[in-house]
C-alpha cells in the first residue's frame, strides 16, 4: 500500500502549469492525500481524551479540507457551517468528505464582514443545541474578521474553540498533508471568571 509520504511525492511531481493540470492535481490532493492525512491526524490524537459534542460550528473559507480535520476527530452529532455566498464548491467537497446526512448538517450563508448576523446565528443555534449537550466551534476557516467574531461569540457563550494549524505551501496553493495539528483554546470563563 502506498503511504502518505509517497502519495505526497506523486502530487508534488504532477504538472500544474495549465488549468487542466491544476484541476487534476487538485482532485488528486482531495481524493488521495486529504483522507490519508485525516487518518494520520486521528491516529495522532487517538489516545487523548476528547469532549463529546452535540453540535459543532464551522467557518468555511476557501480551504474546505482544513475545517474537516477537527470534525473528523471530534465527531459531533450535528454540524452547522457558516460561509459566504461564493463557497458552494468548498461546501460540496466538505460534505462529501465528511459524509454528513441532511438531518445532522445545516448551512447558513452570511455576508462577509457581517459580525452581527454571525452572532445571531451562533446564539440561536447554540440555544437549541445547549439543551442537548456541549457545543464547539472550529475557527480555522473564514476571514480574519469572521474568525475574530466567532471567537468572541464562543467566549460569551462558553463554547469550546478549536483551530487547525498546518504548513502552507504557497507554490502549490495547498497545505502540506501530514503537518496538521489541533489547537484547543482554553475557555475564557475557566480562567478569567
Model pLDDT, residue 23: 94
Model pLDDT, residue 189: 72
Mean of per-residue pLDDT scores for the chain: 93
Residue range 52-192, CATH number? 3.40.50.10770
Looking up cell 459543532, which residue turns up? 56
Model pLDDT, residue 43: 96
Per residue in 56-90, pLDDT (tens digit) is: 999 998 889 999 999 999 999 999 999 988 888 89
Model pLDDT, residue 193: 62
Among residues 145, 149, 142, 146, which one has the least CA distance to residue 164? 142
Dihedral sign, Cα of residue 46, residue 96, residue 30, residue 144: negative
Per residue in 132-175, pLDDT (tens digit) is: 999 999 999 999 999 999 999 999 999 999 999 999 999 999 99
Per residue in 21-61, pLDDT (tens digit) is: 999 999 999 999 999 999 999 999 999 999 999 999 999 98
Whole-model pTM: value is 0.92
Per DSSP, which regions of the chain are E strands? 55-59, 78-83, 105-109, 135-138, 160-165, 168-169, 174-175, 181-185
Model pLDDT, residue 180: 97
Three-state DSSP state, 86: coil
Per residue in 174-191, pLDDT (tens digit) is: 999 999 999 999 887 777
Amino acid at each position: 500500500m502506498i503511504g502518505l509520504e509517497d502519495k505526497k511525492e506523486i502530487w508534488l511531481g504532477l504538472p500544474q502549469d495549465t488549468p487542466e493540470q491544476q484541476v487534476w492535481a487538485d482532485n488528486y490532493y482531495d481524493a488521495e492525500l486529504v483522507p490519508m492525512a485525516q487518518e494520520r491526524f486521528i491516529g495522532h490524537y487517538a489516545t487523548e481524551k476528547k469532549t463529546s459534542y452535540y453540535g459543532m460550528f464551522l467557518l468555511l473559507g476557501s480551504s474546505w479540507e482544513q475545517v474537516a480535520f477537527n470534525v473528523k476527530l471530534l465527531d459531533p452529532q450535528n454540524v452547522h457551517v457558516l460561509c459566504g455566498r461564493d463557497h458552494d464548491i468548498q461546501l460540496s467537497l466538505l460534505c462529501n468528505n465528511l459524509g454528513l446526512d441532511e438531518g445532522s448538517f445545516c448551512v447558513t450563508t452570511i455576508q462577509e464582514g457581517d459580525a452581527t448576523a454571525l452572532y445571531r446565528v451562533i446564539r440561536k443555534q447554540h440555544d437549541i443545541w445547549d439543551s442537548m449537550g456541549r457545543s464547539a466551534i472550529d475557527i480555522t476557516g473564514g476571514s480574519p474578521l469572521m474568525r475574530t467574531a466567532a471567537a468572541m461569540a464562543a467566549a460569551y457563550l462558553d463554547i469550546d474553540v478549536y483551530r487547525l494549524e498546518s504548513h502552507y505551501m504557497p507554490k502549490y496553493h495547498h497545505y502540506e498533508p501530514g503537518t496538521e495539528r489541533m489547537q484547543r483554546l482554553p475557555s475564557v470563563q475557566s480562567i478569567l471568571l
